[in-house]
């Protein structure tokens, strides 16, 4: 089946008792048993829930995965992946990962003896150089936030496979509509469902996808044993949202491409970063790695641009009306963020400058509104 057909139908059979077309919210913590130890396959709400299962099957299908395991947040998904490992194990990760991921691995897992190497995974040779005999996983985020630097999933997957190391990819920024890491050889793909998968800025959730039966079995065990599960209602909301994932991602991408092109034409902007622009340093990799034709749907909904100073950035941010100044991304409404003072304020200034995250950098999460209105908002905000 095609992606849009799967998005609407995968994992969802009509409910058996009433024929309800939409998977119900099974808002229950427990299930009646007909005799001691005799049950329907459903015993307890943390362990099994039909609404959650429908969501897991749905997203797994969209990522070409045999297994999907859902969690109460993206970080709960990451932390459960981390619990696959033991004291002394070593992980190589993208140096510019989502801030919460970095905080989790360094501040929380560090004290349990998990060893980390943070490298620029856009250079495969840096990944290779960081590998040790005790390396168990390479964890990459591509594109990164907010500089939209890509890592070559297939090339890193080849390196990992040869050495029996797992490759996990945080696929939050593109969603399975634009990027499917498992098809490129990754073992694990994960999402903050809070972003594009839910797409309506009203749920916090996470999910892990894999074709590796052994990893899936361990994660399923940990999902229950650790217990960071999503509520039935949240699972239902995300399942409702994935039905329109293709439509939303097309609109996000189309609008983002138009905005990136508009910004490129302006001469008062220092740099525009968008993987769908030929000026992106990894445009060729983006074309190989990201799905769908660019001319039509762009390459994701995130656009970053740089103006000359913090003062100029602040003036623009204060004048924007349609774009809401807020953290997070991936919702139908357009958001704007100033990473140096918001999401990345905890990163020391020298470090920010080193990676190119300057005070004049503005990040857009382009929504699904009319592109003309969004461009007009940018134009009036940059005037004068
Ligand atoms: C938001 C985000 C996360 C964390 O997800 P939560 O749902 O907020 O816990 C992880 N990775 C990326 C790329 C994100 O944007």
Residue closest via CA to ligand 1's atom 6 equals 74
Tell whether 181 and 250 lie within a shared domain: no
Q: Ligand 1 centroid vs 254 CA: distance in angstroms?
A: 23
Tell whether 10 and 125 lie within a shared domain: yes
Beta bridge partners of 191: 207
pLDDT of residue 372: 98
Ligand 1 pocket test target in 70, 75, 145 with most atoms within 8 Å of CB: 75
CA distance 224 to 258: 44
Residue closest via CA to ligand 1's atom 11 equals 98
To the nearest whole number, what is the mean pLDDT of the chain?
A: 96
Ligand 1, atom nearest to 172 Cα: 13
- Strand bridging mode 302-306 / 271-273: antiparallel
* Binding site membership of 100 for ligand 1 (Cβ less than 6 Å): yes
CA distance 96 to 146: 9
* Binding site membership of 204 for ligand 1 (Cβ less than 6 Å): yes
State the residue range of the domain holding 99: 3-242
Residue closest via CA to ligand 1's atom 5 equals 74
Residue 293 confidence (pLDDT) above 80: no
pLDDT of residue 278: 95
Using pLDDT thresholds of 50, 70 and 90, give the confidence band for residue 294: low
pLDDT of residue 345: 84
Among candidate residues 199, 227, 242, the one where a domain is terminated: 242
Ligand 1 pocket test target in 70, 121, 194, 335 with most atoms within 8 Å of CB: 194
Tell whether 253 and 227 lie within a shared domain: no
Tell whether 274 and 148 lie within a shared domain: no
Among candidate residues 242, 276, 305, the one where a domain is terminated: 242
Among candidate residues 242, 260, 292, the one where a domain is terminated: 242
Tell whether 249 and 227 lie within a shared domain: no
- Its pTM stands at 0.97
Residue 188 confidence (pLDDT) above 70: yes
* Binding site membership of 304 for ligand 1 (Cβ less than 6 Å): no
* Binding site membership of 172 for ligand 1 (Cβ less than 6 Å): yes
Chain segment 62-113, per-residue pLDDT in tens? 999 999 999 999 999 999 999 999 999 999 999 989 999 999 999 999 999 9
pLDDT of residue 355: 83
Residue closest via CA to ligand 1's atom 8 equals 74
Q: Read off the pLDDT of each residue in 211-233 and give the average, rounded to a whole number.
A: 98
Tell whether 175 and 187 lie within a shared domain: yes
Tell whether 42 and 137 lie within a shared domain: yes
Residue 352 confidence (pLDDT) above 90: no
Q: Ligand 1 centroid vs 75 CA: distance in angstroms?
A: 6
* Binding site membership of 300 for ligand 1 (Cβ less than 6 Å): no
* Binding site membership of 377 for ligand 1 (Cβ less than 6 Å): no
- Comparing CA positions, the residue from 74, 181, 143, 100 lying closest to residue 303 is 143
Task: Kindly state the percentage of the chain with pLDDT values over 70.
Answer: 99
Helix H, strand E, coil C: the string for the chain is CCHHHHHHHCCCCCCCCCCCCCCCCCCCCECCCCECCECCCCCECCCCCHHHHHHHHHHHHHCCCCEEEEECCHHHHHHHHHCCCCCCCEEEEECCCCHHHHHHHHHHHHHHCCEEEEECCCCHHHHHHHCCCCEEEEEEECCCCCCCCCCCHHHHHHHHHHHCCEEEEECCCCHHHHCCHHHHCCCEEEEECCCCCCCCCCCCCEEEEECCHHHHHHHHHHHHHHCCCCCHHHHHHHHHHHCCHHHHHHHHHHHHHHHHHHHHHCCCCCEEECCCCCCCCCHHHHHHHCCCCHHHHECECEEEEECCCHHHHHHHHHHCCCCEECCCCCCCCCEEECCCCCCCCCCCHHHHHHHCCCCCEEEEECCCCCHHHHHHHHHHHHCC
Q: Read off the pLDDT of each residue in 177-198 and give the average, rounded to a whole number.
A: 98
Tell whether 192 and 257 lie within a shared domain: no
Q: Which two tokens stand for residue 72?
A: 């109460």
Tell whether 29 and 60 lie within a shared domain: yes
Ligand 1 pocket test target in 181, 192, 330 with most atoms within 8 Å of CB: 192
Tell whether 199 and 66 lie within a shared domain: yes
Active site residues: 46, 98, 170, 195
Residue 354 confidence (pLDDT) above 90: no
Q: Between residues 150 and 347, which one has the greater pLDDT?
A: 150
Please give the tally of structural domains in the chain: 2
Cα–Cα distances in Å, from 177 out to 95, 142, 251?
A: 25, 14, 12
* Binding site membership of 143 for ligand 1 (Cβ less than 6 Å): no
Tell whether 198 and 148 lie within a shared domain: yes
Chain segment 226-284, per-residue pLDDT in tens? 999 999 999 999 999 999 999 999 999 999 999 999 999 999 999 999 999 999 999 99
Residue closest via CA to ligand 1's atom 4 equals 74
Q: Ligand 1 centroid vs 216 CA: distance in angstroms?
A: 21
* Binding site membership of 101 for ligand 1 (Cβ less than 6 Å): yes
Residue 295 confidence (pLDDT) above 90: no
Ligand 1 pocket test target in 195, 207, 339 with most atoms within 8 Å of CB: 195
- Domain CATH code at residue 282: 3.90.1150.10
Residue closest via CA to ligand 1's atom 2 equals 192
- Domain CATH code at residue 144: 3.40.640.10
Chain segment 10-63, per-residue pLDDT in tens? 999 999 999 999 999 999 999 999 999 899 999 999 999 999 999 999 999 999
Tell whether 209 and 300 lie within a shared domain: no
Q: Ligand 1 centroid vs 364 CA: distance in angstroms?
A: 16
pLDDT of residue 364: 98
CA distance 180 to 197: 13
Ligand 1, atom nearest to 194 Cα: 7
Task: Kindly state the percentage of the chain with pLDDT values over 90.
Answer: 92
């Amino acid at each position: 089946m095609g992606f849009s057909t799967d998005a609407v139908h995968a994992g969802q059979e009509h409910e058996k008792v009433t024929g309800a077309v939409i998977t119900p919210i099974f808002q229950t913590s427990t299930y009646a048993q007909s005799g001691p130890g005799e049950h329907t396959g459903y015993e307890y709400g943390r362990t099994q829930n039909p609404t959650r299962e429908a969501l897991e099957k749905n997203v797994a299908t969209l990522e070409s995965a045999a297994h999907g395991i859902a969690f109460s947040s993206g970080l709960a998904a990451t932390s459960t992946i981390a619990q696959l490992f033991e004291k002394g194990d070593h992980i190589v990760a993208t140096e510019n990962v989502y801030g919460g991921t970095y905080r989790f691995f360094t501040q929380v897992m560090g004290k349990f003896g998990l060893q980390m190497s943070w490298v620029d995974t856009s250079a495969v040779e840096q990944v290779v150089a960081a590998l040790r005999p005790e390396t168990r996983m390479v964890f990459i985020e591509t594109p990164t936030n907010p500089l939209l630097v890509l890592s070559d999933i297939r090339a890193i997957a080849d390196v990992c496979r040869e050495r029996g190391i797992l490759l996990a990819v945080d696929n939050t920024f593109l969603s399975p509509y634009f990027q499917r890491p498992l098809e490129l050889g990754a073992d694990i793909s994960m999402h903050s469902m809070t972003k594009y998968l839910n797409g309506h800025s009203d749920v916090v959730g996470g999910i892990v996808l894999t074709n590796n039966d052994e990893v899936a079995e361990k994660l399923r065990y940990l999902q229950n044993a650790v217990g960071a599960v999503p509520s039935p209602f949240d699972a239902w909301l995300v399942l409702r949202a994935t039905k329109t994932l293709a439509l939303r991602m097309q609109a996000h991408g189309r609008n983002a491409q138009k905005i990136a092109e508009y910004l490129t034409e302006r001469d008062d902007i220092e740099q525009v970063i968008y993987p769908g622009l030929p000026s992106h340093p990894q445009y060729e990799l983006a074309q190989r790695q990201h799905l769908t034709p660019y001319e039509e749907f762009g390459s994701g909904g995130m656009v970053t641009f740089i103006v000359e100073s913090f003062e100029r950035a602040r003036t623009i941010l204060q004048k924007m009306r349609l774009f809401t100044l807020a953290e997070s991304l991936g919702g139908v409404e357009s958001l704007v963020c100033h990473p140096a003072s918001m999401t990345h304020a905890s990163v020391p200034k020298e470090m920010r400058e080193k990676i190119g995250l300057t005070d004049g950098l503005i990040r857009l999460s382009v929504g699904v509104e009319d592109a003309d209105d969004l461009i007009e908002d940018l134009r009036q905000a940059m005037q004068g």
